[in-house]
Structure 1
Amino acid sequence: MASHGPELFNYSDPNACTLPYQLTKQIHRDVYPLLEPTQPELSAKGKTVFITGVSGGIGKAIAESWATAGASGIVITGRKVDVLESVATSLKSLASPDTKVLAQAADITDEASVAALFGAAKEAVGKVDVLINSAGSLEGGLVGTTDPKKFFSDFQVNVLGTYLVTHHFLAQADGTGTVVSFTTGAIANVFPGMGGYTASKTALTRIMENLHAEQPKIRVFLLIPGIVHTGMTVDSLKPYAKDRPGLSASWTLFLSAPRAEWMRGGIVSVNWDIEEMEAHKDEIVRDNLLGRAFLNAKLGKNGRPWS
């Protein structure tokens, strides 16, 4: 796929910002039957999950999906105490009575705050099995004209914050567990005004690729949430923000299940059709189409021309 700027999009098409990134011919923008959180294959029974960024719409949907899927323990964090308390109330109504829920505000860019949070998590739910790094920052700003502190605030959250949470997760993981980190399809292009964001997400992607290579018993995945209408969505993309938060949420359940084992270490998009991917599993694995090589995977409106 060519790495041009947003001029490659036809902005009169509501799917214009989604279609250039498709690996599969079939695309999804909302939860479909295979990804319903009530599916037995997606059951979270016996699993504990730790979710960052729950002050945002995607994080809230993830927490609710894990409650619906029967997780034994759910830890949620973000910066907004009132939002966390509201989500915790929702989780208790969705989850089984014996599901343990911890909602605690934290600054993931501060190691002491992260360490305290994991200490509280250990007391509340025991060992955390699954980490979902959904917290993110998109400040925006042009290179050279944006205050450096503001420009690098995306790195503080997207790189340092995610690293600190992952570091403390691994310290208690006993060498096994699942890490799902959110990235973006925007790392494939140059978007003026989004340099800090796309650069930080590219750095995060490389860190997670290293984790996959260095700790083979840790199941690592990178997830592109599509374009979801949240507080982070830039105005120019809001007309194209058609992807539902629940789709990302269900994908985190899927990636934590054995069926996703062959996707480990890869970048996947919530828009891609799972069954079509499975039909071409051998080609995807052979050509490493879920690694950063996905940028050369001939993505487009009709998906990859499979061999």
Structure 2
Amino acid sequence: MDYSDPNAFTLPFQLTKQVRRDVYPLLEPTQPELSAKGKTVLITGVSGGIGKMQVIAESWATAGASGIVITGRNTEALESVATRLQSLAPATKVLAQSADITNEASVAALFAAAKEAVGKIDVLINSAGSLEAGLVGTAEPTKFFTDFQVNVLGTYLVTQNFLTQADGSGTVVSFTTGAIATVFPGMGGYTASKLALTRIMENLHAEQPNTRVFLLIPGIVQTAMTVDSLKPYAKDTPELSASWTLFLSTPRAEWLRGGIVSVNWDIEEMEAHKDEIVRDNLLGRAFLNAKLGKDGHPWS
């Protein structure tokens, strides 16, 4: 691998020849096709200081969501984001509710508050995450499994409560990572937990046919979680991930249900090969079917 190439950690995971790094016209939150009017959304991990999740909430506000619930552990940070959202969309109902997603009672309280503030949640965005670097066998077990507590247990608890209040319907978008397809020394807990999350969401898709399930790879965004070795390759904007969550909530994304998609992939190129993607299940099974690489999948 040529590590001097800024795309070194992006091209190996490309499905499309076109590489997207930022929002393009189809994904502008102001596009009528991406309108969130009449929809309520709950976004986890917003107070983590990452910035990406705040941008997601802002995109939903720009798109006119009727209700936005943001959660995380930092109450002060949440309130700051809520103020920003209200300035963007004064008509949108906004709830900032701190919660520990790894605690059942805390998650139950979150959804009780959400019901009172905005009613039923239509869209869940599982964007809270943990990355505790450490080598297998030498990392302290409690620290190593923090990633499983947040990325797997936490996401499961939030999703379970979402499904209960949504009567088994609605849209669930869970963030995963392209790193599940390879091995990064020191990131064993993170990649293993994200791989476990991916399989759980694939099961949810198979088991709950009325629930729209998507797995989204955000590319490499410069955040507090980005490990130092990957920072030179963090070329993707948080706005791109935000717009993708809007897109996945629309009917146009229906054919992608249950699949793993990356923000770096061009939507229109994928649509041009829709039949092949669906026929060969190229978006499932942790990339075992699609041939990813520099020039994208070799379309038939």
| Contact 2:40 2:120 (C-alpha < 8 Å) held by counterparts | yes
Which amino acid in 2 is paired with 1:49? V
CA distance in 1, matches of 2:51, 2:227: 15
Please give the alpha-carbon distance, in whole angstroms, between the structure 2 residues aligned to 1:86 and 1:76.
11
Match of 1:125 among 118, 129, 143: 118
SS in 2 for 1:102: strand
Identity %: 85
What do the CA deviations read for 1:119-177 (whole angstroms, capped 9, x no partner)? 00000000000000000000010000000000000000000000000000011002210
1:67 to 50, 53, 61: 61
State whether structure 2 residue 296 is matched by structure 1 residue 303.
Answer: yes
- For 2:87 and 2:288, the matched residues in 1 are separated by 42
Cα distance change on mapping 1:153 and 1:293 into 2, 3 Å:
closer
Secondary structure of 2:124 counterpart: strand
- TM-score, normalised with respect to structure 2: 0.98
Unmatched segments (≥5 aa) in structure 1: 1-8
2:20 equivalent among 11, 25, 28: 28
CA drift of 1:86 comes to: 1.1
Match of 1:176 in 2: 169
How far apart, CA to CA, are the structure 2 residues paired with 1:269 and 1:171? Answer: 28
Partner of 1:82: 76
Q: Distance in 1 between matches of 2:56 and 2:97?
A: 16
User: Normalization by structure 1: what TM-score?
Assistant: 0.96
Shift, 1:204, TM fit: 0.2
Instruction: Supply the AA of the counterpart residue of 1:268.
Output: V
In the TM superposition, what is the alpha-carbon distance from 1:182 to its structure 2 partner? Answer: 0.2
Letter in 1 for 2:290: A
Query: 1:192 is matched with which residue?
Result: 185
Equivalent position amino acid for 1:26 in 2 = Q
Q: CA–CA distance in 2 between the matches of 1:242 and 1:10?
A: 16
In structure 1, what is the equivalent of residue 276 of structure 2? Answer: 283
Say which of 201, 206, 212 aligns to 2:205: 212
Please give the alpha-carbon distance, in whole angstroms, between the structure 1 residues aligned to 2:247 and 2:152. Answer: 24
Secondary structure of the equivalent of 1:104? Answer: strand
- Aligned pairs (5 A) from 1:31-42: 31-42=23-34
* Whole-angstrom distance in 1 between the partners of 2:289 and 2:186: 24
> What's 1:18 paired with?
10
1:47-70, Cα deviation, whole Å (9 max, x unpaired): 000000112311101100000000
Q: Where does structure 2 lack aligned partners over 5 or more consecutive residues?
A: none
Listed one character per residue, the Cα deviations across residues 18-70 of structure 1 (whole Å, up to 9, x for unaligned) are 11100000011100000000000000000000000112311101100000000
Structure-2 residue corresponding to 1:5: none
Separation in 2, partners of 1:175, 1:208: 14
Counterpart check, 1:271 vs 2:284: no
Equivalent in 51, 62, 67 of residue 57 of structure 1: 51
Counterparts of 2:19 and 2:6, CA distance in 1: 14
User: Could you tell me how far apart the structure 2 residues matched to 1:40 and 1:138 are?
Assistant: 36
Give the letter aligned to residue 73 of structure 1: G
Aligned match for 1:167, one of 157, 160, 183:
160
Q: Output the amino acid matched with 1:257.
A: T
| Aligned twin of 2:242 | 249
Please report how far the alpha carbon of residue 293 of structure 1 lies from its aligned counterpart in structure 2 after TM superposition. Answer: 5.0
